[in-house]
Amino acid sequence: MFIKNKRNKGITLIALVVTIIVLLILAGISISMLAGEGGILTNAKEARDKTGEAQAKEELDMYLMEYSGNKNLGDTTDLKTFLKSKGYTVKDTGDGKLQVEKDGYIFIVDPDTLSTTLKEKGLPEMNIQVEGPDEDKKVSITVTVTNVDEFESIEDITLTSPDGTKVRGTVNKEAGTATFKVEKNGIYTVDVKATADGKEKSEKQTVKVNQIPAEIGKIGFGTIDVIWVDKDNNIQSNPESPEKYLSGMTKVAWTWDEGTKTWTEKKEAPSTNEEWYSYRALEEGSKNDNKGENGSHWANAKNPNDGSYFVWIPRYAYRITYYTDEQTYRNGEEPLAYFDGNGLTDKDGAKVVKVNGGTIEIKMGEKVQTVIKDEKSYIVHPAFYGPGSEALGGGFGTDKGIVGIWVAKYEMSEDSKTNNPVSKPGVSPYWQFESIGQYYTRALNYDEGKVSHLMKCSEWGAVAYLAHSQYGRNGHEITINNNSNHYTGMAGDSVSAEVSSTTNSYDTEAGGLASTTGNVYGIYDMSGGTLESMACYDSSAGDALRWGNSFAYKDGQSTKFANTRLDVLDGVGFAQMEIKGEWFGDYRFAASNGGPFEAWGGNCSEAERAGLFASRKDTGSIINGEHMDKTFRVVLVGGSD
């Protein structure tokens, strides 16, 4: 007999547990492969993020290329404004860079190089406010972490001073805020440390403090940077052409003979602007002298009526950088301060209130015009301003002013046949028994159709600044005209040569160094020669003004033909208050009682004391043969549509 056993076909509990464990392991492996570190989903997310970052950076770089192209074409829009117009949220980082955000992507942009860096996500974001100074001359720096809720905790908020030491302050870690008091200008560093997902996150930002009034040491030299502007103060790569402002004058150009080292005036007038002039600039940072055949060629013209030469000074804006002395500049040391559209500031941008222990203020005035280039503020020279700006040194042309002036190339001499003033080389500029009032009248009568007039201090300043800039001698001193006979267009063998009857002619290599361009294309006799009477006076000087009664004795107010010293004593563009210290040793004595007028440039016998920035007070009279030491210069109005 067979007995059949019936067995259970199901699985045991142990087998079930093992199966579940295996399934869980497989599920874990699958999930890890999908979502874990290096998993499919993670890699896909990272790839998507990187693609988005790349696209965001590509878009930003494209806009920066557009900005750079616009800038090269003369567009003066600043980078912050441009990026905002493209939909970005823009804020300063405090160290001169910009933080720009769009579609959740945050980049740091360097305005100088236009380079971009993606800012890491998950870092503390902070808002920094700078206020003050208060009565104790301290500035308050307030830091607020704006995404504090994204972190488990804020570990610390610190501030490091420019010298590397920690600044004490009040820190509220829970709120993510801190306040610090500082009493020195400079670049400070804010460091915020926070914890998220068990990891430490740290973010640093720099903040510039320049609100505390600054005191600096002695200023003895400076450089002048010039940019070209049109009548609307739009920045241009080239100066305004004088082509349509010749008013009957003819163009003049010269050729250089390397063998004889001399210049020869071309018989035929130049047919193109390129042949006529080239306002050449040395590269930024260059300390070379912009001179010789390859130096700057300012536009020259000749009046066919009397053969007088004139030189075109185009409308421009300027910025001054100050140094302790010329040697400091030559050595490449840091500048002390700047003067521009922001006023007189130190290297950190703080307003300077004392120089060498003395209180100083240069009045900008509400009507001073400024332009911005590369985030630097420049002053449009007041000599080119229109009506209503007479107190600043302008007044000619339309409401927007003029685009240039024609300045006599040489000190005015007397035409022996007509007894009229002429601007020619190699002649003596003596004028017998004439006061400044008579100079003023002679200049007005020179050519009424071209609004001729006696040179004003503001116009001398316009020439001097351009001569000292990268478009002129680039910070180098002009050789003195030391000719004992006061012949125009002559040059000594050095900037401080003693008076002599044997000197270099204007058309030689050495003679060209006495011009504003270091060659024959510049303006001569602005260092040495004879003192030049300026249409500039101190209206408080009373009876002494009788020698200038044709212009200065009327109402004591500045006009487009004359500057009142009380208006411009602390003003801009006059090569006076802005030229802190005695650059090149040039003396400066302002008009006052007993000498209500001014004579500029120095005399042939004054060696290193003469120069572009030399001025002295003058009675304006004809007493005691004073007239033998003075002459004048005519200016013609250009660019007046």
pLDDT tens digits, 71-117: 888 788 889 999 999 999 898 876 678 888 888 788 889 888 888 88
- The answer to whether residues 305 and 282 belong to one domain is yes
What is the predicted pLDDT for the residue at 2?
A: 44
Contacts of 79 (CB under 8 A, 6+ apart): 67, 98, 109, 111, 375
Has residue 6 been placed in a domain? no
Is residue 81 domain-shared with residue 157, that is, in the same domain? no
**What's the CATH number where 124 sits?**
2.60.40.3780
Q: How many CA atoms lie within 13 A of 505 on its CB side?
A: 10
Which of the listed residues 166, 184, 212 is the one where a domain comes to its end? 212
Token digits of residue 605: 């016998």
Contact 409/311 with Cβ under 8 angstroms? yes
State residue 317's pLDDT score. 97
Which pLDDT belongs to residue 623?
Answer: 63
The rounded distance, in Å, linking the Cα atoms of 81 and 58 is 20
Q: 307 and 163 share a domain?
A: no
CB burial class (10 A; 0-12, 13-18, 19+) of residue 481? buried
For residue 588, being part of any structural domain is answered with yes
CB 310 within 8 A of CB 301: yes
Closest residue by Cα to residue 259 from 474, 621, 509, 555: 509
Low-confidence ranges of the chain (pLDDT < 50): 1-7, 41, 627
> Is the domain of 69 the same as that of 128?
no
| Sequence-separated (6 or more) residues with CB below 8 Å from residue 48 | none
44: in domain:
no
Do residue 66 and residue 182 come from a single domain?
no
427 and 479 together in one domain: yes
* Residues 476 and 623 grouped into a single domain: yes
Residue 597 maps to a domain: yes
Domain that holds residue 73: 56-117
Q: Are residue 186 and residue 280 in the same domain, yes or no?
A: no
Note the pLDDT of residue 220: 92
| 106 and 226 housed in the same domain | no
Maximum Cα–Cα distance across the chain: 165
- Are 290 and 198 in a shared domain? no
Whether residue 326 sits in one domain with residue 197? no
- 144, 126 in Cβ contact below 8 A? yes
| Domain boundary pick from 95, 117, 139 | 117
CA dihedral 61, 63, 65, 71 (to 10 degrees): -140
The pLDDT assigned to 547 comes to 81
Domain for residue 437, yes or no? Answer: yes
The helix/strand/coil state of 592 is strand
Q: Is residue 24 part of a domain?
A: no
**CA separation for the pair 540, 548 (Å, rounded):** 13
Q: Which residues contact 410 (CB under 8 A, 6 or more apart)?
A: 309, 423, 424, 425, 429, 488, 489, 524, 525
pLDDT given at position 580 = 81
What does the pLDDT read at residue 48? Answer: 58
Last residue of a domain, one of 175, 192, 212: 212
Q: What is the pTM of this model?
A: 0.78
**Same domain (yes/no): 297, 374:** yes
Residue 38 lies in a domain: no
Q: Is residue 3 part of a domain?
A: no
Domain count, the chain: 3
